[in-house]
Amino acid sequence: MNSGETPDGSGRDGADGGGTRISARADGRSKITVAGRDINSTYFVSASSAAIAALVGLVILVGMWQPWQETAATGEPEHTATASGSEPPGGSSAATAPYREPPSTGRDGEEPEDPESSLDPTHTPSPTLTPSADPPPDPPDPVDVAFASAGVGTCLGVYDDGWGKLNLERPVAVDCGAGFAYSKVTMVTTSASNCPGGAGRWGWGHVNDSGSSVALCLDRVFAAGQCFPATLNRQADGSLGGEGRLFSVWGCDRTRVPRGENAIMVITAVLNGGSCPRRTDRQTFTWQVFNGAATVCAVQKGN
């Protein structure tokens, strides 16, 4: 027995019996003496049970703390790593984090360039060309339009200018009752050769831009007071006779005539039948026109 122990196994802390004493026995009970009073406590704690309790607490703490949920809530990009090894029997207890598309990068990890900031400031993008509609067709030739507009019965201001050609390049419609209505359309055909011939008539042909052709068959509109050039000759009986340019209109006040002509004739009457009235002061000339359908009466203009 040590000098510090009592015969009942209690220890002493000094010789004073009024302090605190702790006495432990093998039966698991302990006695604590505080200020001379004894306090009994029972314990069943061992080293192994303490380790198990610590492990259970750690598992509960890990189960309550879910780092993947915290990452998803904060919105930070998730970095994952691939682990090798086999899954334990019974499946994994860890929840799989949702897959996120990685941020786009440029060449081998470079950040992509902003398409607007990468443009050359001096470069102007070419405008987008949209296919345009077909260009409008060229406007029709005005002469083509004039010939197409001159139907049968149309009166025109056209005549032979005395030189064997017409005074206008295109038909010009006029009032048939006007004093300058010098001709009238009697037929429309494709060629001037189809028009009837004879004194007082003309075939006026034209080729359109499309290559088609048209011809206006014209009859001269005669009226008393009009003048035309003629060629007069003395006949064997002493009378005068000759040829007149009956599709021509000549100024009655003119003193000269076209080359080859020698007289200016003044129309005195236009008859559909019968004889021309006679005059005592000068000779009256008679011309059959429109293949004998009408008669033009005229006298030579005096000097």
pLDDT, residue 129, reads 64
- How many Cβ atoms sit within 10 Å of the Cβ of residue 78? 13
pLDDT, residue 240, reads 85
Same domain, yes or no: 255 and 286:
yes
Q: How far apart are CA 272 and CA 37, in angstroms?
A: 173
Question: Where is 149: in which H helix or E strand?
Answer: helix 142-149
Q: Confirm whether 111 is domain-assigned.
A: no
pLDDT, residue 153, reads 97
> What SS3 class is residue 50?
helix
End-to-end CA distance of the chain: 192
pLDDT, residue 81, reads 40
**pTM listed for this prediction:** 0.55
Q: How far apart are CA 297 and CA 228, in angstroms?
A: 12
Domain stops at, among 220, 246, 261: 220
Token couple for 220: 């001269």
Amino acid at 251: G
**Under a CB-based contact definition with an 8 Å cutoff, are residues 289 and 246 in contact?**
yes
Same domain, yes or no: 187 and 243:
no
Same domain, yes or no: 211 and 268:
no
Question: What's 68's DSSP letter?
Answer: H
Q: How far apart are CA 186 and CA 193, in angstroms?
A: 14
Q: How far apart are CA 120 and CA 196, in angstroms?
A: 79
- C-alpha distances in Å from residue 181, one per residue of 38, 218, 219, 265: 157, 12, 11, 19
Residue pLDDT tens, the chain, 303 long: 444 444 444 444 444 444 544 444 444 444 444 444 454 444 444 445 666 666 666 666 555 655 555 444 444 444 334 444 444 444 444 444 444 544 544 455 455 555 554 555 566 666 666 666 788 888 889 999 999 999 999 999 999 999 899 999 999 999 999 999 999 999 999 999 999 999 999 999 999 999 999 999 999 999 999 999 999 998 888 888 889 999 999 999 999 999 999 999 999 999 998 899 998 888 999 999 999 999 999 999 986
Its domain, for residue 37, covers 1-71
Split into its structural domains, the chain has a count of 3
β-bridge mates for residue 207, sequence order: 213
Q: Confirm whether 108 is domain-assigned.
A: no
Q: Confirm whether 215 is domain-assigned.
A: yes
Same domain, yes or no: 213 and 244:
no
Look up tokens 């984090």; give the residue: 97
pLDDT, residue 302, reads 81
Same domain, yes or no: 198 and 244:
no
Same domain, yes or no: 250 and 201:
no
pLDDT, residue 124, reads 63
Q: Confirm whether 3 is domain-assigned.
A: yes
Q: Confirm whether 95 is domain-assigned.
A: no
Same domain, yes or no: 245 and 285:
yes
Same domain, yes or no: 171 and 209:
yes
Find the angle CA(119)-CA(122)-CA(125) to the nearest 5 degrees.
65
